[in-house]
Structure 1
Amino acid sequence: MFETVKAHPTSNYSKGCVYSQDLYEFPEEEILAMCPSSVQNVTKMKNSSNMVLLTFFGSTLPDRVHIGPVNLRVRRFVSCPLQCLSCSGYGHGKSSCKEASRCGNC
């Protein structure tokens, strides 16, 4: 009657960011190789002040992470909401917009 419950392989993750000028100079693959096994993915954020986005397995973020010899503070990553460029509404993009076009400046 009962089935075992397993974590979803792609949806069970949390995102945090670290800031390091020295770390930002390495390619993403090398940063991932230096990370602990709890880190699933590494993304260097463009146009940022040395921010590296880390995707962790599981739903909890660690307070700190050791990347190579460096111990860095992990901060929760909050992404900007999806906003339509046609109607300026939230939660959908221009390609799926069903509303009338609106000026985004007003």
Structure 2
Amino acid sequence: MKSIEKAAGKIESAHSEDRCSRYVLHVRNQKQVQTLLALKKLIDGTTVEINYHRTLNTCKCVVSSFDLIHMSEEDLLAEWKGHKVTEVQRITRPTLDGGREKTNTLILTIFGTTIPEHLFVGPIRIPTRIFYPAPMVCFKCLQYGHTKTRCKSKEVCPNCSKSAHVAEGERCVEPAYCRNCEGPHSASSRDCPAYKIEKEIMRIKVEQGISFNEARKNYNARNAPTSFANIVKESTSTIKT
């Protein structure tokens, strides 16, 4: 790290990822960013590759306006390209005939770490708001922090949390049981204490512009000395009584 700072100046902060196989550098000076991106070798001759982080250099916001309902995502992307908008995704909702219909709400991906207070379409001023993703949950094992494609656990029933025992389309008649908090509800319940904790961790991640693992550490530190497991058990105990 000292070699990096000799080449590009003092780094605001840094942390390792993927078991120390790489480092994330936090800088705010644009000139320093360009110096780092151009850096191929350290002073001692060590070859390095420095790129923009795959997630921490973008943020998302939400816009909602009936003035946007008839505009395509491609047209809106072209309209907002000067505001560093790199992706426009329209929210749709199911219809009674099994199809999908457009809504007036869109999720925007912006290259940068802050969102604009508003955007314009012609003379129309449209306010933005922060987008908070839902907690990452695996629909195979029902646990948080990974997705089904990376899950190595056995599939469980989404209602009772036992080994998968109902065919697709059928309904489990066992009492609801959450494997994350041991409460009397399905693992998908929005009232689950574990879900609320994961939602708060996601809020910290978005608002502080940090990785998910960092956000979890910050949450645990903020709630120390009570551990994650104890928080869930205490919340569950409250529910059961």
Check whether TM > 0.5: yes
- The alpha carbon displacement at 1:5 in A equals 2.9
**Aligned mates of 2:72, 2:111 — CA distance in 1:** 21
SS of the residue 1:37 aligns to: helix
User: Superposed, which structure 2 residues align to 1:9-88 within 5 Å?
Assistant: 11=55, 12-38=57-83, 39-47=85-93, 49-88=103-142
Structure 2 CA distance for partners of 1:10 and 1:40, relative to 1, 3 Å: farther
- The alpha carbon displacement at 1:49 in A equals 4.3
Matched, 1:2 2:48: no
Matched, 1:101 2:155: yes
Alpha carbons 2:63, 2:129 under 8 Å: kept: yes
Gaps of 5+ in 2: 1-5, 9-34, 38-50, 94-101, 160-175, 177-241
TM normalised by structure 1 equals: 0.81
SS of the residue 2:59 aligns to: strand
- The alpha carbon displacement at 1:89 in A equals 0.8
Gaps of 5+ in 1: none
Deviations 1:51-90 (A, max 9, x none): 1111112101111111222111110111112221121111
Alpha carbons 2:69, 2:103 under 8 Å: kept: no
Question: For residue 5 of structure 1, what is the amino acid of its counterpart?
Answer: L
Structure 2 CA distance for partners of 1:41 and 1:9, relative to 1, 3 Å: farther
SS of the residue 1:5 aligns to: helix
Runs (4 or more) in structure 1 with deviation over 3 Å come to: none
Question: For residue 52 of structure 2, what is the amino acid of its counterpart?
Answer: H
Greater RCO, CA 8 A, separation 6+: 1
TM normalised by structure 2 equals: 0.39
**Aligned mates of 2:53, 2:143 — CA distance in 1:** 32
Hey, which of these two has a bigger chunk of helix by percent?
2
SS of the residue 1:33 aligns to: helix
- The alpha carbon displacement at 1:28 in A equals 0.7
Alpha carbons 2:136, 2:146 under 8 Å: kept: yes
Hey, which of these two has a bigger chunk of strand by percent?
1
Alpha carbons 2:90, 2:103 under 8 Å: kept: no
Q: Which structure has the larger Rg over C-alpha atoms?
A: 2
**Aligned mates of 1:88, 1:9 — CA distance in 2:** 29
